[in-house]
Chain A
């Protein structure tokens, strides 16, 4: 009897050490390259360590954190990042949900639509940046050529702070919406068909069916998309490197780029670590807020 009980999940082993051995390579890498660096980063954030003084540095308490408040570039990058999250997350959400609704329709050549919508996900952020830079930048870009042919005057595009900022928003949504579309698509396809049939019999309109059946049914996918996009936008960096370089006038300068530059170009590792910790804290708060807000919504 006891033997049967033990088999409830998985197989019971005589060699207790075996699972640990199978886990060892991964756990070793996680410890050395994620957990330990996170702890070191926390420690660095309380010191005056620089890129050249890893062997000798002083503990300076909260000084790095206090200085951040007066660091105009950090504040600018940080506020920019939060603004980007607040703007991109809802747009990404609506775009990917719309695309998912489109590809679950009984279209001909459905596979082609799905493939092309997903396609940009396969392209690296660096190349996406180059691509949109090439399309938008300068008076002789194809974008401006089209604008001229439509009778609009030549636009400043990437040298205009507002235009550049919205280009980053657009490029982010363009490159990642296909990914979240697939998550929504899977959720949409798992809604039982009889629900819709019942609604049809009651004479529900398309909008009513979407509002009262589809939207509530995909709640888990919605939460997932919210959390994943939030985390993703907070770390935006490679795309900006090739699209705008952070400019003009730091209009598209975001936290990760600033942390990188403070650490590797100004060598202020302690200060950069403090910024990383602030960023980590904010990402965690945003993610938790998303999680709890949607949980609360569930009970209403």
Chain B
């Protein structure tokens, strides 16, 4: 194989620095004492490392509760997302039925209706169902995603029909087939969907903004946004929380990099 030219290396490294330095800078800043945060001559690396920003944020802003809420929402919504999107993907890949095309069209049309366009009526629907100001509103509705359905459908098409037929001949019920054959066989696609779903819910801002009112129900993103709101940014805690909010995602990414790349290629859209 040919080797890359020096120019390619230089360009690649410049781009690398553009992406990596800002992230490192904000993480470093989270460890700076106030005197350095608001210094007239800021340095890239903290001179005195301190955890005081984290303790301020956790004590003052109840950020441990927000972290708990965010984990609760992200994990439960992801479990539901995996189950219902695999179910839908299974139906669309292995069954033929009346109205199939209409249903496909319906699912596709939901892509064209982003949440941002329907946030006002969603608010009234949430109120109607008593879901307003409830974490359930952040768990259940976003779990259904067209991206998830298409991702699962594409993958399940590769499972041979014979496997399903054989189970049916053995007298297995449809549910049993789904739980014992489809779910275990779809593991790679499920991993991809689960990771994406977790990221979407972890990073989400618009759903919590519409559905949540009481600070006790805040998620991390909502809390960070509100803390940086109207009265000017409270940099100490906001920077510490921003660093904390992105670290879990970066770890998840480093572990599951392959799934992310594959998922982006397969779905090509976000939920």
Contacts and interface: CB of A to CB of B under 8 A. Distances in A.
Given A35-B110, A122-B253, A127-B224, A273 B161 contact: no
Contact of A102 (B12, B202, B254): B12
Nearest to A36: B125
Contacts of B239: 130, 134
Chain B CB within 10 Å, residue with most, of A11, A38, A134: A134
Interface of A is mostly: helix
A124 interface: yes
Given A30-B107, A284-B112, A119 B23 contact: yes
Nearest to B246: A123
B197 interface: no
B261 A40 contact: no
Contact of B117 (A54, A105, A178, A280): A280
A237 interface: yes
A279 interface: yes
Chain A CB within 10 Å, residue with most, of B42, B141, B253: B42
A241 B225 contact: yes
Interface residues of A, number: 95
Interface residues of B, number: 100
A183 interface: yes
A263 B120 CA distance: 7
B269 to A, nearest CB: 6
Given A22-B91, A44-B121, A119 B19 contact: yes
B12 A113 contact: yes
Contact of A26 (B20, B88, B113): B88
A213 interface: no
A15 B177 CA distance: 14
Interface of B is mostly: helix
B92 interface: yes
Contact of B97 (A20, A102, A118, A280): A20
Interface stretch (B3-11, B46-54, B57-65, B186-194): B3-11
Contacts of B269: 228
A134 B161 CA distance: 55
Contact of B268 (A10, A145, A183, A260): A183
A126 B224 contact: yes
A37 B88 contact: no
11 contacts: A35-B110, A41-B121, A123-B23, A123-B249, A125-B205, A126-B205, A145-B41, A182-B261, A231-B114, A260-B209, A283-B117
10 tightest A-B contacts by CB? Answer: A124-B203, A37-B121, A19-B95, A29-B144, A22-B91, A40-B121, A19-B91, A238-B205, A33-B141, A25-B84
